[in-house]
Structure formats: structure tokens, C-alpha cells
Structure 1
Amino acid sequence: MPIDLRKVPFSRMGSYVAISLLSARESGKHGKEGLYVRHLRSGGKGPIFLLEPTVNNQPVPYVIQATPIMLRIFPTETDSSDGVIEFCFPHANQLHFRIRGNNLGLRLTMVTGSYDHVTPLGPIQNRVKHDDSYTGISWEVNSYSHGARFLLTPLKGRLCINAPWDGLGCRYIRASFLTEDNQSNGMAEGLIQDYVVIRENLELEVSREDRKASFERSLGIVERDLRNWRERCPEVKIPQTDQCDEPEIHASSLLKGHALASYITWSCIVRQEGFLPSPAMYMSKNYMANVWSWDHCFNAMALFYKNPAAAWEQFCLFFQRQHPSGVLPDYMNDKEASWNCCKPPIHGWTLKWMMERDSSGYITDDKLSEIYSPLARWTQWWFEYRDFDRDGIPQYNHGNDSGWDNSTVFLQGVPVESPDLAGFLVIQMEVLSHVASRLRKTDESKMWQARSKDLLANMFEHFWDGESLHAVYLEPQGSAWRHNPVYCHSLLPYVTIVLGDCLRADIKKWIVSGLKERGAFMTEYGLATEKITSPHYKPDGYWRGPIWAPATMLIVDGLVKLGEKQFAQDIARRFCHMAAENGMAENFSALSGQPLEDTAFTWTSSVYMILAHEYL
């Protein structure tokens, strides 16, 4: 499977390093289009090294071929056009490369910041001096500006370092791996390893095993690891009947989409480090190099079918960094968490979804005991800290809290009481009641059940005016709050469908008919997040138009629970066809299906695999 490095980074499970083809604008201080080694700690601070093939130590034009296993660079228009430079990630902290071709080399250029420098390492007796180059020695590149270190090691051939010192750091760092015909038969090999303080094995020297490892062995490690991951992803189930004219093409497209989705989810996992309590599936290794506190739920769901241990690890991730008040961070990475906003409480809905599919009995009472109190505190937080008017209906204080950042639900202002939030909390308290019952907490089970029923009844009175569901903008008036109905064209109120059979008949009818209405939300590719006839609709308007995976997943699952299976299948097929053909983007144009924003997103990949496995 080829991958386009302008859209999908080359990386692997566990790694904080990725390789991408960037424009001059994206390259930051480098200011040059090219192939870059990027660093993803602290949410991603931009490219580290510009990679360039050289002939006779001069950069030359090249073409790229990339698959999930191996990246290859071919020099063009030179005497060494038959040469090649190959890369793979055998380990999370190790990029292994091989150079084949006389006079061919690989140059790494780093535009430095304050204090960035390079230091030679290794025993003196292993150094063989060639002007400004050495054989058998590692060099540590200490990137103070990126908070990381990189160990550059030549395994075959020689490494030339050009790094003028200015008294405080290096003005720039240029590392060239070169072949030597008389020693390496036109071949060179090297390693780029990243770490924060010291290597995991507590040695700065490259181990003997690393020095002896062949490139073919490294490729075999990557192939095995990715194959094992894919075997534990939910497989595509090709529909027996298909609405497209050429079902064999549809099947091929779905399988192609699965190959991409499984690679993205595998490669976007980073190892446990720093603030992260366990390995975490980042949303992307492009621009969104963090994990958000509702995105992780969809990734956990996709994993749960065949890898429940990994699913549970992702599901519990944020609860291990829960604030004493009960709130979960908005997002986090290896360095920090953000508490300025939060995300919607879909965790009860997620837990219920996983429990309904727990045929292996993985979610034991011990597991439920582990999650019960954190989930209860997260639920109670909304009533204690997000109910300013004390009417029992919690609110979003910003669009970001809903996950639908700029939805027209928030056009009048904030805070906003929204029916989707109440619906999520109804489900969450229902789930807490069930879990408490299993844990023999009878009184607590009854309490959660009563609170769930009360909120359900209250929300119908609060948000339903007899003709439609609406949100409520809380406008401060002196010491009181004025409730202003919010009538808009956003898809967000329709997400209340997650309540399924708990909805009243008239509300069910309004939601389903609204979703089916021609020229409203439904397009050739799925559900727009703003009616396409709305004056606020924008083709690239984030939550004011584009198609999103989480909204699709929530609504498709709700439709199935309402018995609208055929309609749910139709939406799922449209979404899967679009993603299989156009990639696993953060969101998509509702009218063209073209990918928008970040083009290699994990929750899109996970929702794709869930829908293609169960809902087609």
C-alpha cells in the first residue's frame, strides 16, 4: 500500500518521530520544501532534520516511494540514479536507513535554536578520522529547542559532521552519511535514535546488537509488528448486497481503506512517557499530536472487538489524569494537559457500547470497580460545576466543551444548555446504575437510576417545544439567568438520538425525519454538520458544514437502536466509500467528499473500521 507523505506521515507504533513531505511554509525555520524528520513530543514542535540525498556530497533531486513498512528515496538526473536510500522503523526510538549506490549519501540539516549542539560520543579507539568525518562513532544532537536528543550512528560507511560552534551552541548542524567504495562497496548504513535523557538501556553507545542488525532484519521486525496489529483490528465485512454498480470495486475500495486506517491507528500510538500514564493513540502525527478526551473513546471502541486490553487502556487513559474535582483534561500529551476546556461526557455511552460487545467477558467486575468511581466523579462534575442556574440541566461553557467548537448552537453566546449533553448524562447515569448493581452497591444503583430518569423527563420539558428540539442560551440578567431558545441549523441537537428508545415518539419522529429531509443534512457522502441550505454553512467551516466521523458514529448507532437499520447502513456506506477513496481526514467537504484539515486522523480511521465491520 503506497502512502502519500504529504498527507500521511511515515512512522510506527510507539515512536515520537515521523517523516513527512512538507511545503516551505510547513517547514518553519527551514523555509524549504522537502522531506523532514519531525519530532512529536510536547504536541509536536515542527521539523528537526531536512533529509536530502547527495551525490559527491552535493544535494540532488529525488523521488519518493513510501509504504507503511519502508520509505525509499531515489536520486534522479544523476550518474547515481540507480542508487537508493531506504528507511524503516524497527523500534519505537530507532530509524534505520541504508544507502546503496556509489558516491551516494544522505544529508541531515538542522536549523538550530538557542543552545542546540552536537557532541561526539563513543570510545576513542573506535574513531577513524577522515578530515571532518569519522567511522565507528556516534554523535549526540541535543535539540534544546525541541526538548529531545538524537543519536546519529554510522553502521557502515562514514559520518561527516559540520556544526560550527558560536560559544553558546552550534550555528547549524549538518550531518552527512557517506558511502566508501573501498570499504563498503558503495553502501552505507546508519541509525537515528531519539530519547529525552538517556537511552532506554541506560547506555549512550549503540549496542553491539544494533551495530550487527541488518536492514532486512529491521524490515522484518516492522512487517511483523504491523501484521500483528492488523490481525487485531476489526475486519471489513463486505455487504452481501451492494447499491453500487460494481460491487467488486466497492470491496476493493473498502479493503484499501482498511489498510490505510489500520496503519494510521498503529503508527499514531506513542509510548508511555512523561505525563502520559500509558501508551496513547494520538489523533494524528501530522498537526494534532495530542490525545483529546472524547477522541480516545472512538479509538477504544475500534480496538475492543479483537484487542480489548488495548481498548481498555485507551478508554481509561484520561481517568488516570482526572482532576480531584472530577473533570477530565481537554487534551494531553507527554508534557502537559490542557484544562481550559473539556469534552462531552460520552464515556458512559462508550462503556455501554463496549459492554454490549463483550463476548469474551473481558470487562470483569474488577474492571468495572476500577472505572466506577472516576466515571461517577466525572458525571457529578457536570452538575456541580456546569449548572449555573441550578435547574438540573448542565451546560457547555464553550463550543469546545461540546467537541463541536464553532457549531451554530453557540452563535448567540455561551453558556448553552444543549440536549445532546443531557442525553449523554442520562446514558452515563444509567450505565453507572448498571455498574453499581454489578458491584452490589444497591443504594447507589437506585440513586443513579432515579437521577437518570429525572434528567430524561426534565430534558424533554426543557428542550422540546412541541415541534422541535432546541438548545438554550443562558443570558445573565442581574442575579438570574434568562433562558433564550436557540433555533439553528446545526446537526448537534440531532445527536440526542443516542438515547434510542428512551426518546419520546414525537421526538424520535422529528429527529429521523430531519435527518432524512432532502436538501438538509444528507449528501452523497453522509451527514453535513450544518444544513447545506443554512446561511452559516461553509464548505470548509469545521463544525459548520463538513462531515465528521464522531457525529456519524453517534447518529448511526442511535438509528440502529431506533430500528432504522437501513437508513443507518446508508449513512455508514456513504461515509465509508468517501473515506476509503479520499483518506482518513479529520473532516470532509459535505458536497465533494474531499478531505479537509488534518489528513491522517485516528478517530476517522477507527470509526471507518467500526462502520465497515458492523454497520454496513
Structure 2
Amino acid sequence: MKIDIKEIPFSRRGSYFAVSYLAQHQAIFIRDVHGGDDSPSELFEIVLEGNSDLTSEAFHESYVIETTASLLKISRRSRPTEFCALILPTAEQLRMKVVGMAVRLKAHKVRYDSLNQLSSNTYEYISYKKETKFHLRLNGSQIKVEAPWYRVGNPTIEICLDGQQKPQELVIDNYQVVLPKEMKSLSTFEEAHQLVEQEYREWEKTADVPHAYRKGQALANYIIWSSIVRPVGQLTSESIYMSKNWMQNIWSWDNCFNAMGVAAEHPELAFGQFQVFMAHQDKSGVYPDFINDQFVSYNCCKPPIHGWAYSQLMAVHPYFSQPAQLDVIYDSIAASTNFWLTYRMSDHGLPYYTHGNDSGWDNASIFHQGLPVISPDLSGYLIQQMDILGRWAKQLGRSDDSERWQQLADQLTEQLLKVLYDGDHFMARSYRTGEPIEESHSLLLCLPLVISYRLPESLVTRLIQRIITQFEGPFGLQTEAKDSPHYQVDGYWLGPIWAPASFIFFDAFRRSGHLEIAKRLAQKYCQLANEHGMAENYNPETGAGNDDLAFTWTSSVFLLLGNYLKELENG
């Protein structure tokens, strides 16, 4: 597996460090992703003998860059033994070794950022921008630090590692208050690299996929592993970020797919994706929209798929069905469900969205005429979740709860069919006027398929026919019908193919007994991701990746569907 740092950050499990080529600066950067996606991540620009633009002809003529899961190495093209190499030995540490060339690190800083010299070869960099500290150890006689002082800080900070005569090394440790004692010990660069390599090989032992998709499997494994951050601040558990490109938070529905992606081999990590949101669950019952180490956002929320997602975890590992886990999850998801029933119910007896982001389909065409919107997907999700809660309540010996969830699900199903189904298809309605949303041809309107077990057979047949004829293309399920006036191949949720929609519909087809359709969609999705990488979403006509090209829920869904296809192969 080779990693292109123009698209996929070089990082590791637990680390807030990432190394990327940033096109807006035309430069390679050591980055820090504390503070989430609203906080600039640039820490140090890496300049190799005056050049930092790896896309330039001059860089290409002079250097070769190779990146694996455990090592980023930039070698001189004419003399490969001369190089700059970076590793991430632990979640808190970055190390650089320079041999046969000179490398400069230029800090991208704000006013109060400052570099304090602690000894002849150690410094502390206090980053106000990132609200964290970095301890720098310089191992080499040809390392120069240029950090002039002016009143309240250093106007510029540059570190030059001149390895032309002897190898030079730099170690950067990250911490919040004081340097932990365990960080002070230091093995050789080569020994540290081997330990990271060994750690990653252990991680790679995950669920198998068909041989044809092995390239995608390797990439998906790396993207998930490298996008994990350790618990800091608001993050009470190890958290799988969506990406370390710019989606540097954990969102409350993305977390569900990533939990499913790691559940079979890493159940504690999977459970942690739920725990981090339970730790910040509002007294109303709603989960935050997203969380990073410094901030928790409640401006929006996400659709109630958490019960369905957790039931998927229970199907793959007994850990999730243990009372210690199930009791906690039941209470939390019950409270989350009650949020919708208490605070988001319309006069029609159906729940509504106050923002497109609440649905997860941020700019879907059902929101183009204004908000709030009463949407059939939301009712479908809630009915499914209440049915699941009813089963869990029975399993936990809470019979009164079980009956209540059953009654509520029955009532909501009746209202869904009465208000949002016209005898031919589901629609969305304006919360304010009650009128149908016109000119919307969103796949979102077909999501009541998740409760096919509650719907009339004739309705399910029409719904499936609509999905296949209007939304299935050569690469899978597109999110807006091609004949819609809102359709765009790069329109986010107005046409592109997405991981969560692909998996939710795959599972709905599978559970409704339409196994051939489920298999076909799984094959299309796996082929798409295997060929075009783990993109945030995909062009429905060409398959090319759109937006962020190193996305974790895409990787998780690829592994889930790939494993399903492998199980079919094995009979």
C-alpha cells in the first residue's frame, strides 16, 4: 500500500499529528488536529533545501516521496541514501531523521506562540493556536534554531536540521501541561519505526474481503487506524474522526458506521464511539451533533439510527449484548428517542427536522423550500428504533417499557402512512403549511424501506421498484434522481453516492429478503471504493471521488460490505 499525502494524511492511531501536502500553501506540513476543523492545523512547514511543493517539477526531479502506514520518507532521487524520514512512534510523539540533506521547519504561528529553550538541546513550544504544548529534542550538532524574541513571543520560529555531514534527529512530544516522564526515554529511530510497523500489522488483522478488493481493504484499514485520536478534553474515549484532512471531529451518526466497521475485531473501540456521545448527552435526551477535544456542538443533531446501529454490533460480537453494555445503551438511546417524541413532534403526529444537517443529508432537495420539514425517513428511523428498544426492554426484563415502545411504534406507523404516503410514493411536507414538498426527487424519501416489515407488501414492491429504476446507477445508489432539477454529480447529497445511504439500503434490502439486490449493491459499492479510494462521496456517473478523499465511514462500510461478500463466497 502506498499513501499519497496530497489526499491521505500520514498519521497513526491516537495521534493529533498528521503530515500532509496542503495545496493552498503548495507545501508539506506537520499538522496538529487539536481543536477540530475550525482550528487551523498547520504547525510546521517542511522545506527541503528551499523546496516544499511536492507537485512542482523541481521537486519531482530532485526527490522521491514514499509513504507507508509507519514511515514517510523523502529521498534524493540521485542518491537514495540521502533522505528526510518521519515516524510517529506513539500517539504523542513525532520523530524526524535527516541524512545527507538540509531540512528547515518553519512554524506557522499566532502572536503569543513562543519557543522557550530549556537546555542546550531541548525546547518547549507553547501553541496558543492549538492550546497545547510541544517538547522538542534536538539530537545532532548541526541543528540550528532561529527564534528571535520580541516582547510577547517569537515573530518567527525556524529549525534547520543540516544532515549533510552527520545524521540529525528531531523528536517532538505533544502534551497539555507538563511532559510525562515516560516520554523522556528514547529508543533509536529504527527501533521505534519497527515498533510502529508491528503495531500496525496487528491492527490489519481484520475481517476479510474478496481477493479482488484487497487494495481497498489495505487502504480502508489504514484510513480508519490513522484517523483515531486519543481521549483529550471533551473526548472521553478514543474517537474515530471522519478524517484528519479537514473533517476533524466525530459526528453523531458517522460514529455509528465506524463503530460497525471495527466492532468484530475491536469491540471496546466500537463501544467507545457511543460512549463519547453518551458522556455529553443533553438532559433533553439529544446527542450532540459533533465533538472534538475542545468543543461540543448542539446546534444540530443527527437522525435516530443509533439503536439500529447498535443492533448491528450485537450481531457480530457477544460483548455488546452483555448487561453491562446493553443496560447503559438502552437508557441512553431511549432518552434520545424521547427527545424526538417530546421536542420534535408536529401537529400531524410526526417528527420533523429543523435543519438539513439533522438528517445527515445536509442539502437534500427536500430542504430547498425551507424548514422545518416533516420527512418520512425520520419517522421510519424512529419506528425502527422503537421496535428495537422494545426488544431490548423485553430482553432486560422491562416489560412495561417494551409494551410502551410497541404502542408508540404502531401509532407512528399509522400516521406515517396517513400523512406522508399518497398511495404511490412517500413525500415530505412543510412543517409550517403542511403542504407537500414539490420537485424533490431525493433517495431520502425511500428510506421507510427500513421498516418494510411493517409496511403493506404492495407498498414495499412499489418502493423497491422506484429505488431500482430511479436511483440505481452503474456505481450504486445515487442520492438524487438523475431527472431531478436539483441533480448534480458533485452536489453533495444531490446525486453523489454515499457510504451511509449505501449501507442503510443494503441492510434494508437484506432484511426484507431481497438478497440479490443487496448483493448487487454491495458489489457495486466495493468495486467503486476499491477502484476510486475511500472518498467522502462519489460522482454517480464516473465513480470519481468527491470532496475529502480519506474518509473513515466510507472505509468502514467498504469493510462491512466486503466481509458480507466474502461470507457469501465461503457459503
* TM-score, with structure 2 as normaliser: 0.94
| In structure 1, C-alpha distance between the alignment counterparts of 2:66 and 2:265, rounded to whole Å | 32
Structure 1 stretches of 5 or more lacking a match?
28-32, 128-136, 239-250, 476-480
Q: Counterpart of 2:421?
A: 464
Q: Confirm or deny: 8 A CA contact 1:157 1:187 kept in the other structure.
A: no
| In structure 2, C-alpha distance between the alignment counterparts of 1:161 and 1:431, rounded to whole Å | 60
Please state if 1:272 is matched with 2:245: no
- Please tell me the residue identity of whatever aligns with 1:223: E
Q: Counterpart of 1:381?
A: 339
Please state if 1:192 is matched with 2:192: no
Q: Confirm or deny: 8 A CA contact 1:383 1:392 kept in the other structure.
A: no
- Please tell me the residue identity of whatever aligns with 2:122: S
- Please tell me the residue identity of whatever aligns with 1:111: H
Moved more, 583-592 or 192-201: 192-201
**CA-based RMSD:** 1.9
Q: Counterpart of 2:410?
A: 453
Q: Counterpart of 2:64?
A: 63
- Of 127, 133, 148, the residue aligned with 1:143 is 127
For the residue of structure 1 that corresponds to 2:66, the secondary structure is strand
Q: Percent identity?
A: 37
Q: Confirm or deny: 8 A CA contact 2:261 2:556 kept in the other structure.
A: yes
Q: Counterpart of 1:224?
A: 198
| In structure 2, C-alpha distance between the alignment counterparts of 1:486 and 1:76, rounded to whole Å | 60
Structure 2 stretches of 5 or more lacking a match?
51-57, 567-571
Q: Confirm or deny: 8 A CA contact 1:398 1:415 kept in the other structure.
A: yes
Q: Counterpart of 2:90?
A: 91
Please state if 1:538 is matched with 2:523: no
| Paired residues for 1:306-455 under 5 Å | 306-358=265-317, 360=318, 362-389=320-347, 391-455=348-412
For the residue of structure 1 that corresponds to 2:30, the secondary structure is strand
Q: Counterpart of 1:242?
A: none
- Of 30, 46, 51, the residue aligned with 1:51 is 46
Q: Counterpart of 2:55?
A: none
Displaced runs of 4 or more, over 6 A: none
| In structure 1, C-alpha distance between the alignment counterparts of 2:535 and 2:83, rounded to whole Å | 31
Structure of greater Rg: 1
| Paired residues for 1:206-245 under 5 Å | 207=184, 209-210=185-186, 213-231=187-205, 233-236=206-209, 238=210
Q: Confirm or deny: 8 A CA contact 2:366 2:437 kept in the other structure.
A: no
* Offset of residue 482 of structure 1: 3.3
| In structure 1, C-alpha distance between the alignment counterparts of 2:14 and 2:319, rounded to whole Å | 28
| In structure 1, C-alpha distance between the alignment counterparts of 2:110 and 2:8, rounded to whole Å | 27
| In structure 2, C-alpha distance between the alignment counterparts of 1:111 and 1:355, rounded to whole Å | 46
* TM-score, with structure 1 as normaliser: 0.87
Please state if 1:498 is matched with 2:497: no
Q: Confirm or deny: 8 A CA contact 2:29 2:44 kept in the other structure.
A: yes
- Please tell me the residue identity of whatever aligns with 1:443: D
Q: Counterpart of 1:246?
A: none
Please state if 1:482 is matched with 2:434: yes
Q: Confirm or deny: 8 A CA contact 2:439 2:484 kept in the other structure.
A: no
Please state if 1:598 is matched with 2:544: no
- Please tell me the residue identity of whatever aligns with 2:203: W
* Offset of residue 486 of structure 1: 4.6
Q: How many residues align?
A: 556
Q: Counterpart of 1:121?
A: 118
| In structure 2, C-alpha distance between the alignment counterparts of 1:112 and 1:424, rounded to whole Å | 46
How big is each residue's C-alpha offset from its partner over 1:34-63, in whole Å with a ceiling of 9 and x where there is no partner?
A: 2101110111423111112239xxx98533
| In structure 1, C-alpha distance between the alignment counterparts of 2:245 and 2:468, rounded to whole Å | 35
How big is each residue's C-alpha offset from its partner over 1:131-178, in whole Å with a ceiling of 9 and x where there is no partner?
A: xxxxxx111122212322222212344421111222121111101123
- Please tell me the residue identity of whatever aligns with 2:75: F
| In structure 2, C-alpha distance between the alignment counterparts of 1:418 and 1:265, rounded to whole Å | 32
| In structure 1, C-alpha distance between the alignment counterparts of 2:358 and 2:253, rounded to whole Å | 10
* Offset of residue 573 of structure 1: 1.0
Q: Confirm or deny: 8 A CA contact 1:471 1:487 kept in the other structure.
A: no
| In structure 2, C-alpha distance between the alignment counterparts of 1:43 and 1:570, rounded to whole Å | 37
* Offset of residue 352 of structure 1: 1.9
* Offset of residue 561 of structure 1: 1.0
| In structure 1, C-alpha distance between the alignment counterparts of 2:154 and 2:75, rounded to whole Å | 30
| In structure 2, C-alpha distance between the alignment counterparts of 1:7 and 1:306, rounded to whole Å | 27
| In structure 1, C-alpha distance between the alignment counterparts of 2:227 and 2:179, rounded to whole Å | 21
| In structure 1, C-alpha distance between the alignment counterparts of 2:424 and 2:164, rounded to whole Å | 79
| In structure 2, C-alpha distance between the alignment counterparts of 1:302 and 1:9, rounded to whole Å | 20
For the residue of structure 1 that corresponds to 2:279, the secondary structure is helix
How big is each residue's C-alpha offset from its partner over 1:407-453, in whole Å with a ceiling of 9 and x where there is no partner?
A: 00112211111111111111111111112112211111111111112
For the residue of structure 1 that corresponds to 2:300, the secondary structure is coil
| In structure 1, C-alpha distance between the alignment counterparts of 2:161 and 2:234, rounded to whole Å | 35
| In structure 2, C-alpha distance between the alignment counterparts of 1:562 and 1:373, rounded to whole Å | 28
